Amino acid sequence: MGGRTMKRIIALCGTVILVLAFSLTAAAKQKSAAFASLSESGGGSKVKVFGPLTSYYPLDASAWGDGKNAVEAWKHPDWPTLTGTKWISNTYKIGDDGSPVATDTWRRFALEVMLPCTAYNVRDGSVDATADNAEEVYLNGDLVGTDGEVQGVATDNFEWNTIQTYPLAFEPGRNLLEFIVRNYPGGDNPENNPTGLLFAGSVFYEVPDVTWLPPLSRKNYELKYGATASIKFQLFRSDHTVIKEAQEVQMVITGAGLPPEGLVFSLGTDSNNLRFNAKTFRYVLTFKSKDYPLVKNSSYLIKVIDACSKEELGGDFATTLVIR
């Protein structure tokens, strides 16, 4: 290594420089979320099950008690299948927990489906489902549909054999998909009167694009250590219209010297928060570089994430920050 090069490196090390890479608006992000009673690709069911109870109760009744993780259920040979998922219940075979087999029982199932809070154009949500013997389907507390008699006198029309498609109007953020499943009275042999629930569904949506604004959008933007950078961006829909309502997003800066989760800046009104200007529709972080243990000659990634799903927005165009 020549002396001139060494002098140059020393000079660079003497001044910490932040270099913010040039970035453009990311392409539109079309996304989908899939959910199921029990994925065949491994892991346990994410569904909670409540009961069984020996009479019908509405969704929010305290009688349901605390939930537990649903488990794969013994599958009657005649039950239908859905690709990629399996039948579930509270026990492998009905009655394994000492609950009744031959008389009416009810179980409630609940699955949280988390979409980004920033999701828009949420569409085509649906679930294919069937139960032995009857089910009510709810989304966010609203009854969506039913098959068989979950309430009142049961008439066995072999509804376990019919897979219904229920439309689901998902909201951005947290959604709760619930089922109340009734096992009709029948034989006292678990293999003659089994119970279970089977479902698989999906929903489509878009998430915003991120456009970084000056000074970040200027190529080779540099900031001396100790100085303060004003990091700005806007969110756009795929039709290139700016999103004028404050979205639940966070800015995350990761890299050397920082905790593994990085520096996370949430929306707020304090000087250290990510702030939203309701007139310019800009998000602004006043980044005081002296406040953080940044490391020389290291690269830092600046990204915008959805505060609910934690997924990165505009990920193809995350901004890199380099300290020289």
| CB neighbours of residue 195 within 10 Å | 30
Q: Give the x-and-dash track for 120-139 against Ca ion (CB under 5 A).
A: ----------x-xx------
Q: Give the x-and-dash track for 64-93 against Ca ion (CB under 5 A).
A: ------------------------------
Output 121 or 192, the one with its CB closest to Ca ion. Answer: 192
Nearest-angstrom CA–CA distance, 182 and 249: 41
Which residue stretch of 33-41, 154-162, 217-225, 290-298 sits at the interface with Ca ion (rule: CB under 5 A)? 154-162
In degrees and rounded to multiples of 5, residue 78 shows phi and psi of -90, -10
Q: Please tell me whether residue 193 binds Ca ion under the rule CB under 5 A.
A: yes
Q: Please tell me whether residue 147 binds Ca ion under the rule CB under 5 A.
A: yes
CB of 147 to Ca ion, least distance (A): 4
CB of 135 to Ca ion, least distance (A): 7
Output 133 or 309, the one with its CB closest to Ca ion. Answer: 133
Nearest-angstrom CA–CA distance, 74 and 194: 8
Q: Which residues contact 5 (CB under 8 A, 6 or more apart)?
A: none
CB of 140 to Ca ion, least distance (A): 22
CA angle 169, 172, 173 (to 5 degrees): 120
CB of 195 to Ca ion, least distance (A): 5
Nearest-angstrom CA–CA distance, 96 and 93: 6
Nearest-angstrom CA–CA distance, 13 and 17: 9
Residue ranges in contact with Ca ion by CB under 5 A = 130, 132-133, 147, 159, 162, 183, 193
